[in-house]
Amino acid sequence: MSRTAAESLGTQARPALGGAAAQTRRFQVAASSASTSSAATERPLLGRNHPRSRSPWLSQQSRSFFIQTEPTPNPNSLKFLPGRPVLPAEHGTGVYFTPDDREKSQSPLAVALLSLEGVAGVFLGTDFITISKHDEGGWTLMKPVVFGEIMDFFAEGKPVMLAEPVVTDTTILDDDDEVVAMIKELLQERVRPAVQEDGGDIFYRGFDPNTGTVNVQLAGSCVGCPSSTVTLKNGVEKMLMHYIPEVTAVNAVEDEELKQVNQKEVNELEDRLKAAGVPFEP
């Protein structure tokens, strides 16, 4: 995540409240999002205009398309744009896989890319793929290999995802209270588009009403990015505290910490969803 993202997220003006008194704060925030959509369309939320490089064009008919690349604020992550849809809409706006993830088997594309030497993580967006490499690797040697793997995958017509669509982190459930619903809505509508512009993502991982802390998990180019802390505190935290007085802090959790902190909540949520017959993937 970039410093520009933090500035963009942290300078949102509070919308004027209107309508009937019975309206909830969540509806008012949604209305504010709609009112700013045209401005977001005219000017990218991050204010970034990265130069894109293209892979060599291959003459074979089955591989005749360009793959563009975009740098990210994280030098160990690079954004690949194949010029076609990547993640199906029913699977949300982004999923992140690492070599140790059991869930990587849900995506043949992620499995193929994670098998390449030096690849530390794969983030699949709606129309892009972010590859994260280990510190010691160099892009000069890795880029052609990644280009070839992506071209071969799409040329063979394989599905990007195999598993059935699941409930996402920002799905508003029937038993979510007003505060949690507002947090999820802001993350999905305001924060996530800005973060994904830089090749990363942010996932909701819980809210502690006793401390007012929102737990989130960073993915893609945001993992290990030098500016991610700045964006999290100056952008995401300020925005959530601006709209939701109950929020006092935003905390980024790692995989192991997440398992320890949220395992009870995840188990309870999984039990509720299973009882309702809804597929669930934590």
In the predicted structure, residue 145 carries a pLDDT above the cut 90 = yes
17-21, 109-113, 126-130, 214-218: which has the minimum mean pLDDT? 17-21
Domains of the chain listed by start with CATH number: 3-43+167-275 (3.30.300.130), 53-155 (3.30.1370.70)
Tens digit of pLDDT for each residue in 48-89?
444 455 544 333 444 456 899 999 888 899 999 999 999 998
Would the pTM of this model clear 0.85, i.e. be above it? no
Bigger pLDDT: 252 vs 150? 150
pLDDT computed for residue 253 by the predictor: 78
11-25, 63-77, 252-266: least confidently modelled range: 11-25
At 252, is the pLDDT very low, low, confident or very high (cuts 50, 70, 90)? confident
Choice between 211 and 42, residue whose per-residue pLDDT is larger: 211
Q: Return the pLDDT at 34.
A: 37
Q: Tell me what percent of the residues of the chain surpass a pLDDT of 70.
A: 59
Q: What is the pLDDT of residue 44?
A: 36
Which residue has tokens 């949604």?
Answer: 30
Residue 31 has pLDDT above 50, yes or no: no
What is the C-alpha separation between 194 and 96, in angstroms, rounded?
17
- pLDDT tens across 179-215, in order? 998 988 888 888 877 777 777 778 888 889 999 998 8
Band (pLDDT 50/70/90 cuts) for residue 237 is confident
pLDDT at position 151 over 60: yes
At 199 the pLDDT is 74
Q: What is the pLDDT of residue 82?
A: 94
- As a whole number of angstroms, the distance between CA 194 and CA 65 comes to 27
pLDDT band per the 50, 70, 90 thresholds, residue 152: very high
